[in-house]
A and B are shown apart, each in its own frame.
Chain A
Amino acid sequence: MSGYLEGVFVLLAINIILAYGAFLPLAAGQLNLGVAGFVAMGAYIAAYLTNVYAWTPIPAAIAASLLTAIIALIVGFPILRTRGIYLALATFAFGQVVQATILNLNVVGGAAGYPVQTFVGPALVGTVALIVVIAVILLFHTRLGISLTAVSDDEIAADMMGLSVRWLQTTAFTLGSAIAALGGALYAHHFSFVEAQNFGILASLYIVLYVLLGGTQTVYGPILGAAVFTLLPELLRGSASWRYVIFACLIIAVMVLRPQGVVTTGLLRRLFDIRRAGAAPQGRK
């Protein structure tokens, strides 16, 4: 693999992980605009563990992910009392707090950024991304998965059926934050440098857009969204300085044509039906 392709591959793998970090709360009906804050936490905690305590990257990434999950749980409990736009604002504010805190933490370089000594190669990043994808897909085949969808579809009916809406939303938020932190840890150790400026609201918006573009209804949407956002700007490189304009127009077009995201329950059903109809010509009843 050429260096360029390798770089694109790693970016794709990390973006897919981050997309799932934003997807989990969205699947339960919550917009987390502070997701980049959790990515930053994962990146800095893991980097600190490998730099200062000479941990190997994998245990460091796992520890960073767990620690971030605990923080997300503590923060999530009060934050998730808010709803809709207020939840988005509260998570946004939390992301800003994380960013500002890191900028003032001289032990991890403050505004100057934090170099990371240990390196993680594309094979490992790709493997972790694959594990995350499989784990989330499996998760959405459990009772938890259908319960999360139930909560985002109709909170009141879900509650009446005995589901704890609060518990489910907090779980989704916490798991999502843990996944986002894992992605951050890999990012730090592959690119060998992290700076707080990269984990602002713009990063959060991008990650959330991966999911919204791909679709929040199915567990496969985030892969497509992350792939489009990572690969399309690369494919448009030929048109040099106009590429982001073209890219933005394409995104707007997709959002107009498919406001539910590209991959929807209906789309998967149709694909599945076509396959089934092909196998049995009489088709469905």
Chain B
Amino acid sequence: MTMASPILELDCVSKNFGGLKVIDNLSFSVTPGERVALIGPNGAGKTTAFNLITDFYHVDSGRILLDGRDITAVPSRKRICHGIARTFQNIRLMSHLTVLENVMIGQSAHNASALAMLQPVNLLPGNRWRKQARKALDAAGLGQYALETTGALPYGIQKRIELVRALLSEPRILLLDEPAAGLNSSETEELRQQLIEVSRRGLTLIVVEHDMHFIGAFCQRVIVLNFGCKIAECSPHEAQADPQVREAYLGSDDELGQPHAA
């Protein structure tokens, strides 16, 4: 563990659904620029942890700190303004908007005022925000899809559009919920390259992912959850050898290196 002060910190966070403890007294911290994976078997609470960090669900108890400041009371739509952006496990693009318009929605965090709302982003091709969105799409190799609607595009492409949309909010922390799920190996490699590039710019990345090869090649640290509790926090390599982690996943000592189905 580095000694740098954490950018994000979960402090004894819990969440119940009815009587079910989905997240149980979870604490972890992430340092700026780190690439961390949240792993664990299905139902371990990985996506719920994301949902708590983004206030999709509100925590029942505990605190969430950003740069040491308590943001537990900050509502969901304001968290992105604080620099926390995410992608979704089940892609959530707007089906009646074009790809370009979808990624322009990502700029909303910096355009919330009534005046900013009246910018004619879709009228003049020279509009500053439109150009920025276009450039981001081109940089991600998605320029050719800019004017298509999203519904008919392949799954892998939609995932990358969601990533561009999240990046356009200029986040400091990016939460990626199963970014590699449903991608073939060459698409996964493309995604990894894209994320490495993003990481180089200083972004902090937290990834929920089942693909251990991807995690091993990308993340510096893994946090292992099981039944809402943290059971291990170590390097990806150590996680694969940890008997407790293996047991959580498999209940036996089969090999863990297999990518799991989403």
Query: Given that A153-B96, A160-B86 are known contacts, is A146 also in contact with B77, CB under 8 Å in the complex?
Result: no
Question: Does the CB pair B105–A158 fall under 8 Å?
Answer: yes
User: Does chain A have a CB within 8 A of B112?
Assistant: yes
Question: Does the CB pair B97–A285 fall under 8 Å?
Answer: no
Across the interface, name the chain A residue whose C-beta is closest to B118: A142
Question: Does the CB pair A163–B77 fall under 8 Å?
Answer: yes
Which of A144, A161, A163 neighbours the largest number of chain B CB atoms within 10 Å of its CB?
Answer: A161
Query: Which of chain B's residues have a CB closer than 8 A to the CB of A162?
Result: 77-78, 80-81, 108-109, 112, 169
Question: Does the CB pair A160–B96 fall under 8 Å?
Answer: no
Q: Give chain A nearest CB distance to B38 CB in angstroms.
A: 18
Question: Does the CB pair A138–B97 fall under 8 Å?
Answer: no
When chains A and B are docked, how far (Å) is the Cα of A147 from the Cα of B109? 12
Q: Which of B72-124 contact A (CB under 8 A)?
A: 76-78, 80-81, 86, 88, 92-97, 101, 104-106, 108-109, 111-112, 116-123
Across the interface, name the chain B residue whose C-beta is closest to A166: B77
When chains A and B are docked, how far (Å) is the Cα of A164 from the Cα of B117? 11
Which of A138, A154, A165, A269 neighbours the largest number of chain B CB atoms within 10 Å of its CB?
Answer: A154
Query: Which of chain B's residues have a CB closer than 8 A to the CB of A144?
Result: 117-118
User: Does chain A have a CB within 8 A of B226?
Assistant: no
User: Does chain A have a CB within 8 A of B240?
Assistant: no
Query: Given that A154-B92, A265-B96 are known contacts, is A143 also in contact with B129, CB under 8 Å in the complex?
Result: yes
When chains A and B are docked, how far (Å) is the Cα of A142 from the Cα of B117? 7
Query: Given that A142-B119, A147-B117 are known contacts, is A160 also in contact with B77, CB under 8 Å in the complex?
Result: yes
User: Does chain B have a CB within 8 A of A149?
Assistant: yes
Q: Give chain B nearest CB distance to A144 CB in angstroms.
A: 4
Query: Which of chain B's residues have a CB closer than 8 A to the CB of A161?
Result: 77, 80, 105-106, 108-109, 165, 169
When chains A and B are docked, how far (Å) is the Cα of A164 from the Cα of B81? 12
User: Does chain B have a CB within 8 A of A278?
Assistant: no
Q: Which of A7-61 contact B (CB under 8 A)?
A: none
Q: How many residues of B contact A (CB 8 A)?
A: 36
Question: Does the CB pair A146–B56 fall under 8 Å?
Answer: no
Across the interface, name the chain B residue whose C-beta is closest to A27: B96
User: Does chain A have a CB within 8 A of B149?
Assistant: yes
When chains A and B are docked, how far (Å) is the Cα of A144 from the Cα of B117? 5
Query: Which of chain A's residues have a CB closer than 8 A to the CB of B86?
Result: 160
User: Does chain A have a CB within 8 A of B185?
Assistant: no
Query: Which of chain B's residues have a CB closer than 8 A to the CB of A142?
Result: 117-123
Question: Does the CB pair B112–A164 fall under 8 Å?
Answer: yes
Question: Does the CB pair A156–B118 fall under 8 Å?
Answer: no
When chains A and B are docked, how far (Å) is the Cα of A201 from the Cα of B118? 33
A150 touches which one: B81, B88, B105, B111 (CB < 8 A)? B105
Question: Does the CB pair B111–A143 fall under 8 Å?
Answer: yes
Question: Does the CB pair B101–A146 fall under 8 Å?
Answer: yes
User: Does chain A have a CB within 8 A of B204?
Assistant: no
Question: Does the CB pair A149–B96 fall under 8 Å?
Answer: yes
User: Does chain A have a CB within 8 A of B144?
Assistant: yes
Query: Which of chain B's residues have a CB closer than 8 A to the CB of A222?
Result: none
User: Does chain A have a CB within 8 A of B54?
Assistant: yes
Q: Give chain B nearest CB distance to A214 CB in angstroms.
A: 15
When chains A and B are docked, how far (Å) is the Cα of A102 from the Cα of B86? 51
A266 touches which one: B122, B129, B149 (CB < 8 A)? B149
| Contacts A142-B117, A153-B95 known; 5 new A-B pairs at CB < 8 A | A146-B105, A154-B92, A157-B88, A159-B77, A162-B81
Chain A residues in the interface with B (C-beta under 8 A): 138, 140-147, 149-150, 152-154, 156-165, 217, 265-266, 269, 285
What are 16 of the A-B contact pairs (CB < 8 Å)?
A142-B118, A142-B123, A143-B108, A143-B116, A145-B122, A146-B97, A147-B108, A150-B97, A160-B76, A160-B77, A161-B165, A162-B78, A162-B108, A163-B77, A165-B77, A285-B144
